[in-house]
Amino acid sequence: MSRTISVEELTRVEGHGGIEVVLSRKKVKSVKFQIFEGPRFFEHLIKGVHYEKIPDITRRICAICTASHSLASIGAIENAFRVQATPQTRLLRDLLIHGETIESHALHVFMLALPDFLGYPDAISMASEHLDAVKMALHLKKVGNMIHTALSGREVHGMNERVGGFSRVPSEAQLKKVMNELLEVIPVTELAVKLLASVELPQYGDSENLLMAIDSGPRFGYMGDHVLTSKGERVPESKYLSLTNEKVVGHSYAKFSRYGGGPFMVGALPRMVLSGSKMDGDAGELYKQHRGLIKAGNSLSNNLCQALELVHDVQRAVNDIDELLSMGLRHEEPVEYEVFEARGVNAIEAPRGLLYHDYSFDGEGRVVKANIITPTAQNAANIEKDARVIAGNLATEDDAAIKKAIEVMVRAYDPCISCSVHLTRVK
Amino acid sequence: MARPRVGIFGLTGCGGDQLQILNMEDELLDLVARLNIVDFQEGSSRKEEGPLDIAFVEGTVSTEKDLHHLRDIRERAIILVALGNCATDGGVQAMRNEETTLEERMKEVYGAKVTITEALEPRPLEAYVKVDHSIPGCPVEKDEVLRGITSLLHGDSPPRYTYPVCVECKLLEYPCLILEENKPCLGPVIRAGCKARCPGLGLDCIGCRGPIEGGVNYAAELKMLLNKGYTREYIMNRLKVFSGKLPEDLTEGAR
């Protein structure tokens, strides 16, 4: 006798996906993470488009990680044309990526994931009994969006960050305003850690995870040019294809990534396991206190790692603004550069994990070939692995219990299904 | 309308218009008090079937599943509002609709062996169902959504923009990027409502709100940018980014 358990539509995630598990005599026969989101063919769309407009198009792959896409896109273009951004630009970009992570993690931790652990269908229903927490979370999210708006031009699909720099450098007054708000939300980030640390995580999904995250250098962060793996490797971003062999599967429009023939994980948990010890200040202290709760083999601990990152993000944003203000903001134009036939690759940590953009240009700066690999496409095979373990361990339970456990696991990854449907390689 | 039953749905897209609703951090709690939101996949696990007073739909129809979903929503909803550029015009995923077939794109990306039959050419909602109101933009502007909802609650229509970005740009006294900086700005043919965000940052309008409602003089825009030294191919590529459609007065006469 076999039974099929399917979560037809995952909720509180971005995009449309489901998951189906077939059990036969208490053994898992098959697992499919299905992605219903339609194909959008971005790599095909941008073929022939002039490099200058590429980030405006590719950032529209995803709303919640729009700046990650635009910065990865700009980074790949700058690597191709050997553009050296100024120290001020690099700091502003660091601030922007931290702002995006604040907005995204605040939304996910408080409004999408926490209701699972406290037993509500959504944050709005949660507000009836935890109004203060929900209001504080909205405030935190808003501060992330303020950074976005000040630097990028609006909350979703901004425009101000460009190849070579920023079209308009924000004013000191704008940054000071953001700074004041940041200082107010520090307690909210600490509350996030407290809430998530108090949740006792089920262990029915525990299994080995191969982890990957960016090497952010001496400080914890989301930018760098090498990728670290939990096997102790350090791979240059330009060699990313050796890490992410993509495979077409019949049940989804997202290609699935594999490394060494097996699944791997990207996101907050891998970042924390591979680089968490680099965090400093209050974030570093909280990391030390909670290190024991972060289990590389329990994907559900991803949410606690996101909460720890929130503490880091706010702290880092404050530091970045401090540094910008003490340097004195200069109204620099984007730097100048030559365009030639070239290829460029860039890796960045989007809130959900490693993101790669790779473009080849003709002599006029038009795209001839492109490849974009998103975090959720990389996590898809690992999500199937976890679902298989959960269903196997809960095989004697009823369908509803298995379904719920799988849904909570998938949501812990904070999947961005719109993103995952990226459809690769223009030949 | 007293606390209408509302559904917020997403077809194929980036989810950014739904996200803009969640981005109304200051108004969200008051807003949800005025609406009975019975289905909002991106924000809640609550899901009720049955009739809807208002349905907001973002994204394009890009799969058979999207189409089935949209038809079901249309049957259930008294008022259907297309939310954002994908739903109103086709969005960035439609930009190559007139150049390559879906089969060609599929083959290029997935290889010849894969047959995924459920995909459809990306189309805006009105290609399949009657749309009652549109809120444009990539993404939608938060204040426009808020005013749109307020209007609907009072039995009125959401605001419409029958004038170009240039009007707002001039009211804000920004320098003209075409005349003064030779930039390929699409402001003259794109509908207002964004308060000229891009020109305000010194960037030419890329057209994310779609063409002005009513007549648009594309030929004049083309001529102006040709005179500034841009190639026809470059200008056409830009005009297509947010809908994939080339305006008729360019495909026919202006050559």
pLDDT digits (tens, 9 = 90+) for A6-38: 887 777 776 677 888 999 888 999 998 877 666
- The answer on B140 and B173 residing in a single domain is no
Distance CA A59, CA A42 (A): 10
Least confident of A71-80, A163-172, A248-257, B126-135: A248-257
B93 in reach of chain A (CB within 8 A): yes
DSSP symbol at B190: B
Pairwise pLDDT comparison (B1 vs B50), residue with the higher score: B50
- The answer on B170 and B243 residing in a single domain is yes
Tell me whether residue A154 is in a domain.
yes
Sheet of A353-361: strand order equals: A342-350, A353-361, A367-373
* Mean pLDDT for chain A overall: 90
A424, B234: Cβ pair inside 8 Å? Answer: no
- Tokens standing for A35? 């992605």
Least confident of B62-66, B85-89, B122-126, B196-200: B62-66
- Tell me which chain B residues have a C-beta less than 8 angstroms from the C-beta of A253: 116, 119
B112 in reach of chain A (CB within 8 A): no
Tell me whether residue B255 is in a domain.
no
In this predicted structure, the answer to whether residue A421 has a pLDDT above a threshold of 80 is: no
- The answer on B197 and B117 residing in a single domain is no
- The position carrying tokens 């923009």 is B161
Tell me whether residue A23 is in a domain.
no
Q: Which of B94, B122, B153 is the last residue of a domain?
A: B153
Element (H, E) at B36: strand B36-40
B229 in reach of chain A (CB within 8 A): no
Rounded to a whole number of angstroms, the distance from the CA of A333 to the nearest CA of chain B is: 11
Positions of E strands within A15-130: 17-24, 27-35
Half-sphere exposure in the Cβ direction for B181 (13 Å, CA): 11
**Who contacts B134 (Cβ-Cβ below 8 Å, separation ≥6)?**
B81, B82, B87, B88, B158
Question: Which residue of chain A is at minimal alpha-carbon distance from B108?
Answer: A426
- The answer on B227 and B200 residing in a single domain is yes
- The answer on B59 and B128 residing in a single domain is yes
Rounded to a whole number of angstroms, the distance from the CA of B226 to the nearest CA of chain A is: 17
Least confident of B13-17, B59-63, B223-227, B245-249: B245-249
B24 in reach of chain A (CB within 8 A): no
Distance CA A112, CA A105 (A): 10
Pairwise pLDDT comparison (A262 vs A283), residue with the higher score: A283
B93, A155: Cβ pair inside 8 Å? Answer: no
B231 in reach of chain A (CB within 8 A): no
Distance CA A312, CA A192 (A): 12
Tell me whether residue A426 is in a domain.
no
ipTM of the shown complex:
0.92
B202 in reach of chain A (CB within 8 A): yes
A248, B110: Cβ pair inside 8 Å? Answer: yes
Distance CA A326, CA A226 (A): 30
A62, B92: Cβ pair inside 8 Å? Answer: no
> C-alpha distances in angstroms, A343 versus A50, A223, A361, B234?
14, 20, 6, 22
Question: Which residue of chain A is at minimal alpha-carbon distance from B122?
Answer: A40
Question: Which residue of chain A is at minimal alpha-carbon distance from B22?
Answer: A107
B138, A127: Cβ pair inside 8 Å? Answer: no
Contact A247, A281 (CB under 8 A): no
Q: Which of B153, B185, B219 is the last residue of a domain?
A: B153
> φ, ψ for residue A122 (rounded to 5)?
-165, 175
- Tell me which chain A residues have a C-beta less than 8 angstroms from the C-beta of B197: 153-154, 159
Pairwise pLDDT comparison (B25 vs A286), residue with the higher score: A286
Give the amino acid at B227. Answer: N
Burial class from Cβ neighbours inside 10 Å (0-12, 13-18, 19+) for residue B17 reads buried
- The answer on B229 and B145 residing in a single domain is no
Distance CA A154, CA A177 (A): 16
Read off the pLDDT of residues B56-113 as tens digits, 9 standing for 90 and up.
999 999 989 899 999 999 999 999 999 999 999 999 988 888 888 887 877 776 665 5
User: What is the extent of the structural domain holding B52?
Assistant: 5-153
Q: What is the CA angle B52-B58-B59, rounded to 5?
A: 135
- The answer on B189 and B113 residing in a single domain is no
Domain count, chain B: 2
Rounded to a whole number of angstroms, the distance from the CA of A279 to the nearest CA of chain B is: 29
Tell me whether residue B81 is in a domain.
yes
Read off the pLDDT of residues A49-69 as tens digits, 9 standing for 90 and up.
999 999 999 999 999 999 999
Distance CA B176, CA B182 (A): 9
Contact A108, A306 (CB under 8 A): yes
Rounded to a whole number of angstroms, the distance from the CA of B156 to the nearest CA of chain A is: 27
B138 in reach of chain A (CB within 8 A): yes
B:52-71 residues touching chain A, CB 8 A cutoff: 60, 62-63, 65-66
Confidence band, pLDDT 50/70/90 cuts, at residue A134: confident
Question: Which residue of chain A is at minimal alpha-carbon distance from B23?
Answer: A142
Reduced to 3 states (helix: H, G, I; strand: E, B; else coil), residue A170 is coil
Give pLDDT, residue A424.
31
In this predicted structure, the answer to whether residue B254 has a pLDDT above a threshold of 60 is: no
Burial string for A370-394 (b: 16+ CB within 10 Å, else e) reads: bbbbbbbbbbbbbbbbbbbbbbbbb
Distance CA B211, CA A159 (A): 19
Q: How many helices and strands (H and E) does chain A possess?
A: 14, 13
> Which sign, positive or negative, has the C-alpha torsion B87, B89, B94, B95?
negative
Tell me whether residue B115 is in a domain.
yes
- Tokens standing for A9? 């539509």
Give pLDDT, residue A422.
41
- The answer on B132 and B81 residing in a single domain is yes
Longest dimension (CA), chain B: 56
Rounded to a whole number of angstroms, the distance from the CA of B40 to the nearest CA of chain A is: 8
- Tell me which chain A residues have a C-beta less than 8 angstroms from the C-beta of B110: 248, 255, 423
Residues of chain B above pLDDT 90, percent? 62
Distance CA A6, CA A34 (A): 10
- The answer on B133 and B83 residing in a single domain is yes
Tell me whether residue B101 is in a domain.
yes
Rounded to a whole number of angstroms, the distance from the CA of B218 to the nearest CA of chain A is: 21
Residue of A112, A18, A47, A98 lying closest to A367 (CA atoms): A47
Tell me whether residue B105 is in a domain.
yes
Question: Which residue of chain B is at minimal alpha-carbon distance from A372?
Answer: B109
Give the one of B29, B63, B203 whose C-beta lies nearest to A167's C-beta: B203
B33 in reach of chain A (CB within 8 A): no
Distance CA A400, CA A405 (A): 9
> C-alpha distances in angstroms, A101 versus A65, A249, A302, A372?
8, 30, 14, 20
In this predicted structure, the answer to whether residue A427 has a pLDDT above a threshold of 50 is: no
Q: Which of B129, B153, B177 is the last residue of a domain?
A: B153
Is the preceding peptide bond at B188 cis, omega within 30 degrees of 0? Answer: no
Residue of A65, A48, A91, A126 lying closest to A426 (CA atoms): A48
In this predicted structure, the answer to whether residue B255 has a pLDDT above a threshold of 60 is: no
Rounded to a whole number of angstroms, the distance from the CA of B210 to the nearest CA of chain A is: 15
Contact A345, A79 (CB under 8 A): yes
- The answer on B183 and B81 residing in a single domain is no
Q: In the predicted model, what is the mean pLDDT of residues B150-166? A: 93
Task: Give the number of beta-carbon pairs within 8 Å between A and B.
Answer: 173
Question: Which residue of chain B is at minimal alpha-carbon distance from A143?
Answer: B25
Distance CA A38, CA A28 (A): 28
Give pLDDT, residue B248.
65
Tell me whether residue B160 is in a domain.
no
- The answer on B206 and B82 residing in a single domain is no
B92 in reach of chain A (CB within 8 A): yes
**In CATH, what number is assigned to the domain containing residue A306?**
1.10.645.10
Distance CA B58, CA A1 (A): 42
Tell me whether residue A20 is in a domain.
no
A45, B96: Cβ pair inside 8 Å? Answer: yes
B172 in reach of chain A (CB within 8 A): no
User: What is the extent of the structural domain holding A292?
Assistant: 42-420
- Tell me which chain A residues have a C-beta less than 8 angstroms from the C-beta of B196: none
Using CA atoms of A125, A268, A80, A239 in order, give the dihedral in degrees to the nearest 10: -140
Rounded to a whole number of angstroms, the distance from the CA of A148 to the nearest CA of chain B is: 12
Rounded to a whole number of angstroms, the distance from the CA of A278 to the nearest CA of chain B is: 32
- Tell me which chain A residues have a C-beta less than 8 angstroms from the C-beta of B206: 53, 56, 159
B45 in reach of chain A (CB within 8 A): yes
- The answer on B123 and B236 residing in a single domain is no
B147 in reach of chain A (CB within 8 A): no
Contact A206, A195 (CB under 8 A): no
- Tell me which chain A residues have a C-beta less than 8 angstroms from the C-beta of B237: 48-50
Query: A66-80 vs A87-106: helix axis angle to the nearest 10?
Result: 150
In this predicted structure, the answer to whether residue A144 has a pLDDT above a threshold of 90 is: yes
Domain count, chain A: 1
Distance CA A293, CA A273 (A): 11
**In CATH, what number is assigned to the domain containing residue B13?**
3.40.50.700
Reduced to 3 states (helix: H, G, I; strand: E, B; else coil), residue A161 is strand
- Tell me which chain B residues have a C-beta less than 8 angstroms from the C-beta of A424: 109
Rounded to a whole number of angstroms, the distance from the CA of A393 to the nearest CA of chain B is: 25
